[in-house]
Amino acid sequence: MTFIAPNKKHVVIGMLHLPPLPGSPLYAGDWQKSLKLVLEDAKALTDGGVDALMMENFGDVPFYPDRVSSDVVALMTTVAVEVRRASPLPLGINVLRNDGLSALSIALASEASFIRVNVLSGARVTDQGVIQGIAHELLRARADVGAKHIKILADVDVKHSAPLAPRPIEDEVEDTVRRGLADAVIVSGAGTGKSVDSSKLAKVSKVAGVPVILGSGVNEANVAQFKELAWGFIVGTSLKFDGDVKRPVDLQRVRQFMKILA
């Protein structure tokens, strides 16, 4: 995929976990401090050598199940524009829990390169209730605004969720790519920071026909075993100080991780 490091065999997408935004229950009351922390994380990831960044409203628990409020869109756009000014790397947007339409709008306004959609096709049982796929709306919206250059990275068997009924992962992948028109698929573990079953990843890689990205639980100790099964790695928790998702990005951890894939 040419939107991220086209000449590299593997790419690393570093996570920007946004602190709670103004209006969310856990917001700490200092917007400028929150923005500063995000930009510091973006600098550490960029200086450490990752290939792209992805920003999500990680701190905004409990998440909206579908469309977020307009203030979230405005605030995330502001942050995305500042990140784009601070870093030359391609930027991705994920609006939790499943607001791909707002992610697309933010990406357009900030000149981001891709978005992540947790449930593009099918339906999943989550802590927000049942979330249904949005491919029919999102792909039409992208076409309407002439934004096919903004790529859609879609989860399959997404973390923090369960299927409504048992279904082979291969079938879910084929529907997400061929009927949902995903540009890439993301495979993750059961939750944030949790490792992926390599057998599941192998099944996805065999049938996807598009780039496969490992979406959680990637670290220095296990990344080597996944190199032949995945094109990309979304890395967040393991690049933080002490491997704590709530702490800032550790530049030395980033550099060490990137050496393994060099």
- When pLDDT is averaged across residues 216-241 and rounded to a whole number, the result is 90
The model's confidence at residue 143, banded by pLDDT at 50, 70 and 90, is very high
Its pTM surpasses 0.85: yes
Residue 13: partners with Cβ closer than 8 Å, 6 or more residues away? 4, 50, 51, 52, 53, 54, 92, 213, 232, 233, 234, 235
190 within 8 A of 225, measured Cβ to Cβ? no
Nearest in space to 100 (alpha carbons), one of 151, 49, 156: 151
Judge whether 3 lies within some domain.
no
Nearest in space to 106 (alpha carbons), one of 11, 21, 37: 21
pLDDT of residue 1: 59
Judge whether 237 lies within some domain.
yes
Judge whether 1 lies within some domain.
no
Please state, in angstroms and rounded to a whole number, the distance separating the CA atoms of residues 244 and 136: 37
pLDDT of residue 191: 64
Where is pLDDT greater, at 252 or 260? 252
Judge whether 23 lies within some domain.
yes
Judge whether 4 lies within some domain.
no
Could you list the residue range(s) of the whole structural domain that residue 112 is in? 11-260
Domain count, the chain: 1
Judge whether 246 lies within some domain.
yes
Q: DSSP readout, 138-170?
A: HHHHHHHTT-TTSEEEEEES-SSEEESS---HH
Provide the CATH number for the domain around residue 24: 3.20.20.70
Please state, in angstroms and rounded to a whole number, the distance separating the CA atoms of residues 52 and 215: 14
Judge whether 212 lies within some domain.
yes
24, two tokens: 């969310």
Query: Which helix (H) or strand (E) covers residue 125, if one does?
Result: strand 123-126
175, two tokens: 């529907």
If one counts every other C-beta atom within 10 angstroms of the C-beta of residue 170, the result is 14
pLDDT per position as a tens digit, 144-201: 999 999 999 999 999 899 998 888 999 999 999 999 999 999 998 766 767 788 889 9
Please state, in angstroms and rounded to a whole number, the distance separating the CA atoms of residues 215 and 234: 5
Judge whether 89 lies within some domain.
yes
pLDDT of residue 197: 82
